Structures are given as C-alpha cells and as structure tokens.
C-alpha cells in the first residue's frame, strides 16, 4: 500500500499541495489500482468505463471522481458480486484493510458494491464529507442504455499505463447530456461543457433516451433546462471536486455556450 504522503507527488504541485483534496487524490489512486487489476480480469470483456472516472483518467478533466461506474453488458448480479469479491481480495493483497457487505441493498437498476477502508481517516482541512468518516469507494454497474461497441482507451495516470474498454466519445457525451437532462447536477453542466468542446453526441442514444434526434432539438432542451435552473446554486454542489474551485463559475455561462454551439 502506498504511503499517503507520496500521493502528493503524483499530482501537479498546484493540486498536490492542497491538503483539502487529499481524500480525492487517495481515491483516484485506488481507482487506478482497481482498474488496472480489472484490465486483466476475465470479466473485463463485459465492462465499459463510464462516468466521471472516465472523464478524469482518460479525458483529463480537471476534477475528481467519487465512484467507479461501468456499463456491464450481459453481466449478472452474481458475476458482479464475484468480480467485486476479486477486487476486495486484490486490495487486501496490496496491504489495504478492506471491508464490504456482500448483501448490500441494490438500486432499482444495476448493481453497487461499497468498499470500506477503516484505516484511512482524514482530519483537519479536508472536505467535511471525509472528515473523520470511514473512507469508501463505490463500484457501480448497470446495463447499457443503448447498444454500442466499446473501444480500448489507455489510462495514463498515477504511474499506471494500461488499456480499458470504454464507450466511443460520442456515446460518452450523449450519456452525460442524458444525465444532465435527467438530474441536472452541477458537475453535469461542467462535464457537458468539457465534452461538447471535444465531440458531438450520439443522437441515436439521445433519441432513445429523450426523443431528441437533432442538434436543434438538443439545443432547445438544454436552453430550457438553463432557464429553470439556479446555476449559482449548482456551482456550489461540485466545487469541492475541482482542482481549482474558481472554475465552478464556468457553468454560469452554460446558456451562452449552448446558444453559440
């Protein structure tokens, strides 16, 4: 198990020097360890890395991710449990003390496994959600919302370099826009700004999820969302994940971005 202090050195000094971000830096390192292990696991053929961890480790977005999210194509609940059991065993061999409940309450769709690290405690100038609390990593899986072929992407982070299956960029972008339209979290606005500067979304995905089949329909839906959303309030719910909190203000210009997009 890596010493906590050495994790600082894996980040740019502007990030590694922020004590408040230490829990997220530790979590990012453990995410990499888990993903590198799973890249050699028999279940990897059914996995696709999605969500904020994909954006951070593959896309290079300047915010941390809290959970590991996967599309699990044809993976049963028992297979998910077996896979996460192997993750617990691997982390234990790495020197971590890991605890997990095998019969965890599951969401209506998909599967989740929470891994607890009781020896990892943080105090002082850290996010209050981690201060003196049990450190937790969640692994979540779900059936894909639409069929797509994965593609190998290379994760180059935290001293690791390995391939992992992931959605094409246009599908990942559509997933994020679907999440934005459904739940409108502050991080969704931020991630959408990041992705839309790099890729068009898959309209086949958006058509199936929201009945949005064209760019103009998407623009109309997003602008309507902006009109009914307090973006000043939304910026506060994810700024703790950012390398630079001041960048949370970028979402205040989401409407202008969409108008010109």
- For 28-37, what is each residue's pLDDT tens digit? 999 999 999 9
Tokens of 13: 């000094």
Given the structure tokens 């997220």, which residue do they identify? 24
Say if residue 133 is in the same domain as residue 244: no
Q: What is the distance of C-alpha 55 from the center of its chain?
A: 7
SS3 150: coil
If you average pLDDT over residues 234-246, what whole number do you get?
Answer: 96
Could you give the CA distance from residue 101 to residue 113 in angstroms, rounded to a whole number?
A: 8
Q: Report the mean per-residue pLDDT for the chain.
A: 92
Could you give the CA distance from residue 41 to residue 35 in angstroms, rounded to a whole number?
A: 10
Q: Which of 113, 145, 167 delimits the end of a domain?
A: 167
Say if residue 51 is in the same domain as residue 148: yes
Beta-bridge partner residues of 165: 152
Say if residue 38 is in the same domain as residue 95: yes
Decide if pLDDT at 196 tops 90.
yes
Domain of 200, in residue numbers: 172-260
pLDDT score recorded for residue 144 = 94
pLDDT score recorded for residue 108 = 65
Tokens of 111: 């599967």
pLDDT band at residue 220 under the 50/70/90 scheme:
very high
Say if residue 183 is in the same domain as residue 163: no
Say if residue 186 is in the same domain as residue 234: yes
If you average pLDDT over residues 81-95, what whole number do you get?
Answer: 96
Task: Please state at what angle helix 203-210 crosses helix 215-227, rounded to 10 degrees.
Answer: 50
| 154-179 confidence digits (pLDDT tens) | 999 988 999 999 999 999 999 999 99
Say if residue 179 is in the same domain as residue 102: no
Say if residue 50 is in the same domain as residue 163: yes
Using left for φ > 0, alpha for ψ between -120 and 50, and beta otherwise, residue 12 falls in beta
Closest among 93, 79, 76, 122 to 34, alpha carbons compared: 93
Q: Where are the alpha helices (DSSP H) in 77-202?
A: 77-93, 169-183, 186-196
| Number of domains making up the chain | 2
Q: Which of 144, 167, 190 delimits the end of a domain?
A: 167
pLDDT score recorded for residue 106 = 72
| 6-28 confidence digits (pLDDT tens) | 787 888 888 877 878 888 999 99
Say if residue 34 is in the same domain as residue 143: yes
| 89-127 confidence digits (pLDDT tens) | 999 999 999 999 776 777 767 899 999 998 886 555 555
If you average pLDDT over residues 74-83, what whole number do you get?
Answer: 94
Say if residue 101 is in the same domain as residue 182: no
Could you give the CA distance from residue 260 to residue 257 in angstroms, rounded to a whole number?
A: 5
- Of all residues in the chain, what percent carry a pLDDT higher than 90? 79
Say if residue 40 is in the same domain as residue 161: yes
Say if residue 153 is in the same domain as residue 194: no
Q: Which of 167, 189, 222 delimits the end of a domain?
A: 167
Say if residue 130 is in the same domain as residue 13: yes
Tell me the C-alpha to C-alpha distance, in Å, between residue 102 and each of 106, 113, 230. Answer: 11, 8, 39
């Amino acid at each position: 198990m890596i010493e906590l202090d050495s994790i600082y050195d894996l980040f740019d000094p502007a990030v590694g020097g922020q004590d408040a971000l230490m829990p997220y830096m530790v979590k990012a390192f453990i995410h990499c360890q888990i993903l590198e292990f799973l890249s050699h696991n028999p279940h990897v053929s059914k996995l696709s890395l999605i969500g904020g961890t994909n954006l951070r480790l593959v896309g290079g977005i300047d915010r941390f991710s809290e959970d590991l999210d996967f599309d699990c194509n044809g993976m049963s609940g028992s297979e998910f449990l077996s896979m996460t059991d192997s993750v617990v065993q691997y982390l234990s061999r790495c020197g971590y003390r890991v605890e997990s409940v095998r019969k965890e309450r599951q969401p209506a769709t998909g599967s989740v496994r929470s891994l607890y690290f009781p020896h990892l405690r943080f105090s002082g100038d850290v996010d209050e959600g981690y201060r003196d609390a049990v450190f937790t990593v969640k692994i979540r899986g779900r059936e894909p919302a639409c069929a797509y072929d994965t593609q190998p992407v290379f994760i180059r982070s935290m001293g690791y370099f390995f391939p992992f299956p992931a959605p094409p960029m246009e599908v990942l972008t559509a997933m994020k826009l679907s999440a934005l339209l459904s739940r409108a979290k502050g991080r969704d606005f931020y991630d959408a700004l990041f992705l839309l500067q790099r890729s068009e979304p898959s309209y086949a995905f958006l058509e199936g999820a929201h009945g949005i089949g064209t760019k103009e329909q998407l623009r109309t839906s997003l602008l309507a969302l902006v009109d009914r959303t307090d973006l000043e309030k939304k910026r506060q719910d994810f700024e703790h994940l950012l390398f630079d909190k001041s960048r949370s203000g970028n979402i205040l210009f989401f409407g202008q971005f969409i108008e010109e997009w």
